[in-house]
Structure 1
Amino acid sequence: MDLDEVDRKILAILQADGRAALSEIARRLDMGTATIHERTNALEEEGYIREYRAVLDPDLLGRNEVGFVRVNTTAGRSSEVAERLVEVTAIQEIHELTGDADLLLKVRVADRRELTELLREIGQYDGVEDTATDVALRSVKEEHTLRIDHE
């Protein structure tokens, strides 16, 4: 599916407000609601839209400690370890890397005690050789949206 300008505008609107009604999108784009409905369904079916969700405030929820954990694994086991770490709810992101570490995890916890427990748990996973952790002093920018260029 090739995205045209209308598709990109729909994606931009939904990314900014996942609760935007199709009728509101249609009004903003000066199009029919049925057309927007068809296009949105196609964007969902093609995988451009993965899900709709609310972005929660971690500070208000008491999850304001952010850490970045570099994980070194036994040779050839990084994917296996990554797939098992997916189940750990405190881990927000898991990236397989080139370079000095095999995996990079972004974790969010309530406090340092919880971070210590999490690191102990990760360190006990079969295939994990060692970890190194950086704790964020403050988060200057956390983006949850993707730039949608108009071609």
Structure 2
Amino acid sequence: MSERASEIKLDHIDKKILEILQDNAKTPYAQIASQLGISEATVHLRIKKLVSMGVIKRFQAIIDPEKVGRKVTAIIGVITVPQKYSQVLKELEKMPEIVEIYDVAGEYSTILKVRVKNKEDLASLLDEIGKIDGVESTKTMYVLRVIKEDTRIKVD
């Protein structure tokens, strides 16, 4: 698990750059510079700084899972033996069908978001998770439809 990151102070230029890049990470520096009334060199240096500070983790394409055959999304609550929790998380991280893992407080030890091709693949994944040493039980919620799913973060 990652360390808690301390909040970084960003000025209005940094915030606008982040807003533009979250809408389209391929926006040319010249276009960003023109929109913000600053030089291309300043945009380049600001983005480089945001990356080095860890504000921007990476640039990536956001793929529609259904268009690449991942038609089933499920949320899985997992209860683990407390002493084996770290070991369980390491095993879960290795599974490519698991796209998000959350360490949570409450009824479950961790919550998973998974994307698979079909219900048979979901059943196989649940069997695989259930076999991990330290997993006591799981509860699966099959996603019927996605109402909101956004990777953008409001920066204010």
Scaled by the length of structure 1, the TM-score of the pair is 0.95
Counting aligned pairs with the same residue, the percent is: 37
Residue 101 of structure 1 and its aligned partner are, at CA, apart by 0.7
Residue 83 of structure 1 and its aligned partner are, at CA, apart by 2.3
The match for 1:56 is 63
Aligned length: 149
Q: Between Structure 1 and Structure 2, which shows a larger proportion of helix residues?
A: 2
The CA distance in 2 between the partners of 1:107 and 1:79, in whole Å, is 19
The CA distance in 2 between the partners of 1:108 and 1:73, in whole Å, is 22
The CA distance in 2 between the partners of 1:75 and 1:21, in whole Å, is 48
Of stretches 108-117 and 57-66 in structure 1, the one that deviates more from structure 2 is 57-66
The CA distance in 1 between the partners of 2:133 and 2:152, in whole Å, is 34
Gap regions ≥5 residues in structure 1: none
Gap regions ≥5 residues in structure 2: 1-7
4+ long deviations beyond 4 Å: none
Equivalent residues of 1:79, 1:96 under 8 A apart: no
Of the three residues 118, 121, 126, the one matched with 1:111 is: 118
The CA distance in 2 between the partners of 1:89 and 1:22, in whole Å, is 34
The CA distance in 2 between the partners of 1:19 and 1:82, in whole Å, is 34
Q: Cα RMSD (Å) of the superposition?
A: 1.0
Scaled by the length of structure 2, the TM-score of the pair is 0.92
Q: Does 1:137 pair with 2:144? A: yes
